[in-house]
A = this chain, B = another copy of it.
């Protein structure tokens, strides 16, 4: 409550009015796992969670028990599991098997299994036939083996890294430079904010995943790679307000250098929340329509859309429209 109102992101009266609902939700929160989440996230977990020692498979089983109980209580068969947890450091997945059977067998071998919590949650969900949406830059279900698992269980997945602010603008503005044949010489983006996400991202290992996800876009859209710089820094006073300053230096006709700068002042959680709700709705609808595997038509929601190469926001949005029309 304090966090939400201190930065004036959310109206205090509104939170008060939702008090009973929030309390009920709070009661039903279940402990997760900190397997392969890196030191910073580990240090933020409760000591009970920190001290638990279990294999990846045991963690998955435990989460699956919680999911089953939740289904029973809520009287539903199908869930959409959404990962909104802190960004994990990128694991080394170079040697992981591409098939589900081979990956499955690693779950009993903690020392040989680099899968982070986000992927274990994905497995827990998909294996039970629940859909999985990864709103973070963490690995989650971004592995061929997990796509295979989703298809085997007749369910679907989408990800990753919700496109809420600066990167949304990049995927909207960079195509303009390409389509006007204005050569981008450099693109600098500085992000500052002060919520819990920011605390975690001050760890360079965690930040690496985020910056990569924000940065690779330009080359994909422009067809060449301008010098670029992306920083994300924790500035406590900003609370949930993400402020981004971008400086785009480009060449016009006859080589004349020109500049576009923008400042984005958005409330990160409130930009994310409606996207999460829409992702749940669309994923539910796709499931009902019998779609399995990667839901690539959701690309416009993500910084690193899974299952699709299209980086231009406008075209990603047309994919969403086309899907909607195909259902109608």
Contacts and interface: CB of A to CB of B under 8 A. Distances in A.
B254 A14 contact: yes
Interface string A1-44: 00000011111111000000000000000000000000000000
Nearest to A192: B188
Given A188-B192, A237-B227, A270 B252 contact: yes
Contacts of A172: 172-173, 175-176
A206 to B, nearest CB: 18
Q: Taking each of A257, A267, A271, which has the highest tally of chain B beta carbons within 10 Å of its own beta carbon?
A: A257
A112 interface: no
A245 interface: yes
Interface stretch (A81-89, A212-220, A310-318): A310-318
A319 to B, nearest CB: 12
Given A10-B256, A185-B236, A258-B267, 16 more contacts: A11-B254, A169-B173, A186-B235, A186-B238, A188-B192, A229-B235, A238-B249, A243-B247, A245-B247, A252-B270, A258-B266, A258-B271, A259-B264, A260-B262, A261-B265, A314-B314
B249 A237 contact: yes
Given A235-B186, A237-B186, A314-B315, A263 B264 contact: no
A173 B262 CA distance: 12
A314 B256 CA distance: 25
A300 interface: yes
Interface of A: 7-14, 168-169, 172-173, 175-176, 179-181, 185-186, 188, 190, 192, 227, 229, 231, 233, 235-238, 243, 245, 247, 249, 252-267, 270-271, 273-274, 300, 312-315, 317
Question: Copies of this chain, how many?
Answer: 4
Contacts of A270: 252-254, 256, 258
Given A175-B314, A180-B168, A249-B238, A254 B10 contact: yes
A13 B13 CA distance: 8
Contact of A249 (B13, B186, B235, B263): B235
Contacts of A238: 186, 249
Nearest to A253: B270
29 contacts: A7-B257, A9-B256, A11-B12, A12-B13, A168-B176, A169-B173, A172-B172, A172-B175, A186-B238, A188-B192, A188-B233, A188-B235, A190-B231, A192-B229, A227-B235, A227-B236, A237-B249, A252-B267, A252-B270, A252-B274, A253-B271, A253-B274, A254-B270, A256-B270, A258-B266, A259-B263, A260-B262, A260-B264, A261-B263
A62 to B, nearest CB: 33
A254 B185 CA distance: 26
A179 to B, nearest CB: 5
